[in-house]
Structure 1
Amino acid sequence: MKLHIAQRNQVKLRLGLSGASGFGKTYSALILAYGITEDWSKIAIIDTENGSASLYSHLGGYNVLTLNEPYTPERYIQAIETCELSNIEVIIIDSISHEWNGKGGCLEIHESLGGKFSDWAKVSPRHQTFIDKILNSSCHIVTTVRRKIDYSMETDMSGKSKVIKHGTKEVTREGFEYELTANFELINDKHLVKASKDRTGLFMDFPEFIISTQTGKKLIEWCNSGISIKDVKLEIKQAESLEDLKNIYEKYPSLKKSTHPLIMERKEEIENINSQILSIEEIVQPLKTETNGISNKQ
């Protein structure tokens, strides 16, 4: 165990958008994604919502991957990997609710195993692998989540009563939002959102607002303000000695997991170079000795 100074690295965003049906999750996710990348061709949406992703094709030329049932964790993972291999920068998963409560999702898998509490020992690891894939993806990821719907009667300024739709509990495993960089809850069909969780500090305790491209720009600026792993990789590549590598490894403790394989690769390169230099010296040294001997005789 060793104490070190806290450092914030550049990170990939993990954003959540939740709300009742019709509150604008898909549209808001697309606008948010464009604010992050400013390139529609670098956005992919994994669509589980019966083609709803294509309803906004007028916005720009983003990519769509249609995911039909069964909505197993493994098929979601495969869809994410397909996007990663296509050099996508922002992946929108619309929505993750099906992985939990859809046809072939975790609740149905659990029921098919017998529905006993002990059966979660087989289901939970599969769900966690899906969550880990989101957290460890090389892309920025925006997830949408359905909320169960409730209704209430409210009176407007003119005294007329009307039925208001509300989103209540998120349809996914409890605790998912704690894994996210920020989670936005759409509170009505006017696309108004509030931040229910915000590690960036940019939106927490702010009044309700409508997501715009500026929201995405603020998030990516925050994201890029830390230590760049790209810069650290360059520093490792330029290291000329084992001491240099040791100093780099200790300099960025929060990146040790990412840099360790690169450090070991560069260590092997340096050792090979040193070995070659030593071999050359072993050949050259006798020649130097012989040359010096001849010179002394003369």
Structure 2
Amino acid sequence: MQLRQSERKQAKIKIGLQGCAGSGKTYSSLLLATGLSNGNFTKVAIIDTENGSADLYAHLGDYNVISLKPPFTPQQYVDAINICEKAGMEVIILDSISHCWDYLLDYHSSLAGNSFTNWAKIKPLEKLFMDKILQCNAHIIATMRTKQDYVLNQKDGKFIPEKVGLKSVQRDGLDYEFTLVFDVDIKHFVVSSKDRTGLFMGKPEFIISENTGKVILNWCNQGKTNQIQNTIQSTVIILSEKEVYEHIQMCNSIAELLDLYKSYPQFHNSLKPDFEARKTNLMNINNPNNFNKNGHTKFQ
């Protein structure tokens, strides 16, 4: 046992992407993977449980696919991840992990005896699956279906179910295992419901793009092995004007925006209106009378 000073290390991101059917989870995952792999789709793999839906977006690039068949056991997912790791995949998309939870629920219901104590037989199987995801030496994007969630409220002495939003088809609290969790709505807009990176929490809804993956990759690579000097300037990545523009839209504070402005003086003239617009947006972000203009960009 040793006491040591904390240090930021390079990381492999573990992302949860949850949404209802038709929200674009697979497509959004591929866009994230494009950025996380620096556009090298040969290093991207999809573990597909959605009856071949992974092949619907083959026009995006030459990514790799492993198709799983029922029953979707935890061990089958683990074996597929092992194959991807041995093949040198840098980004692995699990589309989706809800099927694994469905299998565990069916298996639990088939067990004889006490239902409560039978969960002790399920827990090790789920732990095997989650440990593999968390320990995998690749970026992981796991999609999850959502369903309507209810709570029981007492009214006039009776318990009445009331809708309280959407809930992922997974065990309660699974989102705590991920570094970043995106909630995708039917119009393909996303918000972050959990964010250890600090890149997206509290940010207005937006549409996932390749640049979203690049921003996450930059965060992952800002570990100790990348630091030459212990200053902000030592971790600045040289970006194009378009990429600086995209970073402007993702700044979460005026201080962060100012750092970006100081880091790229060559774009002060061309991007000054965008810096000022983002500053105004951040100053009024909590004003309920404002609406966001996500999806609009000066670069196509």
Q: Structure 1, residues 57-99: CA drift from partner, whole Å, max 9, x if none?
A: 1101101110110011111111111111111110000000000
What is the SS of the residue equivalent to 1:64?
strand
Q: Distance in 1 between matches of 2:42 and 2:148?
A: 34
1:257-268 map, 5 Å: none
> What is the TM-score normalised by the length of structure 1?
0.68
Q: Deviation of residue 28 (structure 1)?
A: 0.1
Which residue of structure 2 aligns with residue 185 of structure 1?
183
Task: Name the counterpart of 2:133.
Answer: 134
Q: Percent identity?
A: 52
Match of 1:21 in 2: 21
* Cα offset, 1:5, TM superposition: 1.5
Gaps of 5+ in 2: 150-163, 227-300
2:147 partner amino acid? K
- CA drift of 1:122 comes to 1.0
Structure 2 partner of 1:226: 223
Larger radius of gyration: 1
Q: Is the 8 A contact 1:10 1:228 kept in 2?
A: yes
**Equivalent pair of 1:20/1:149 in contact (CA under 8 Å):** no
Equivalent position of 2:33 in the other structure: 33
| Counterpart secondary structure, 2:3 | coil
- Displacement of 1:228 in angstroms is 3.6
Q: Secondary structure at the match of 1:16?
A: strand
Q: Which letter maps to 1:179?
A: E
CA distance in 2, matches of 1:70, 1:3: 46
Superposed CA deviations along residues 114-171 of structure 1, whole A, max 9, x for unmatched, are 2611111111111011000000001110000000148xxxxxxxxxxxxxxx971100
Aligned partners of 1:19 and 1:167 also within 8 Å? no
Give deviations 1:191-219, integer Å, cap 9, x for gaps: 10000000000000000000001100010
Match of 1:60 in 2: 61
1:3 counterpart SS class:
coil
**Counterpart residue number, 2:290:** none
Q: Secondary structure at the match of 1:28?
A: helix
Q: What is the correspondence of 1:109-148 to structure 2 with a 5 Å cutoff?
A: 109-114=107-112, 116-148=115-147
In 2, the alpha carbon distance for the partners of 1:65 and 1:3 equals 43
Query: In the aligned structure 2, how far is the partner of 1:52 from the partner of 1:167?
Result: 27
Q: Tell me if the contact between 1:44 and 1:63 (Cα under 8 Å) persists in the aligned partners.
A: yes
Indicate if the aligned counterparts of 1:15 and 1:181 stay in contact, CA closer than 8 A: yes
Tell me, in whole angstroms, the C-alpha distance in 2 between the residues paired with 1:141 and 1:4: 29
CA distance in 2, matches of 1:72, 1:109: 10
Q: Which residue of 2 aligns with 1:89?
A: 90
Counterpart for residue 172 of structure 2: 174
Q: CA deviation at 1:227?
A: 2.2
Equivalent residue letter for 2:121: K
Number of aligned positions between the proteins: 211
Report the Cα distance in structure 1 between the residues aligned to 2:12 and 2:165, rounded to whole angstroms.
Answer: 28
Contact 1:83 1:91 in 2 (8 A): yes
SS in 1 for 2:31: helix
Q: TM-score, normalised by structure 2?
A: 0.68
Moved over 6 A (4+): none
Contact 1:20 1:167 in 2 (8 A): no
Supply the AA of the counterpart residue of 1:227. Answer: K
> Structure 2: how far apart are the matches of 1:85 and 1:228?
24
**Superposed CA RMSD:** 1.8
Matches for 1:150-165 after TM superposition, within 5 Å: none
Letter in 1 for 2:193: S
Question: Is contact 1:35–1:214 with CA below 8 Å preserved after alignment?
Answer: yes
Structure 1 unaligned blocks of 5 or more: 151-165, 230-298
Label 1:121 to 1:167 Cα distance change in 2 as closer, same or farther (>3 A).
same
- C-alpha contact (below 8 Å) 1:182/1:198 kept by paired residues: yes
Q: Given that residues 110 and 120 in structure 1 are in contact (C-alpha distance below 8 angstroms), is that contact kept between their aligned partners in structure 2?
A: yes
In structure 1, the partner of 2:231 is: none
More helix by share: 1
CA contact (8 A) 1:48 1:66 kept: yes
CA apart distance, 1:2: 4.3
Contact 1:48-1:95 within 8 A present in 2 as well: yes
Distance 1:148 1:55 in 2: 24
Q: Tell whether the 8 Å contact from 1:97 to 1:145 is kept in structure 2 after alignment.
A: yes
SS of the residue 1:77 aligns to: helix
Q: What is the distance in 1 between the residues matched to 2:120 and 2:101?
A: 15
Give the corresponding residue for 1:207: 204
AA partner of residue 22 (structure 1): G
Aligned equivalents of 1:208, 1:5: Cα separation in 2: 36
Aligned counterparts, 1:240-251, within 5 A: none
Aligned to 1:289: none
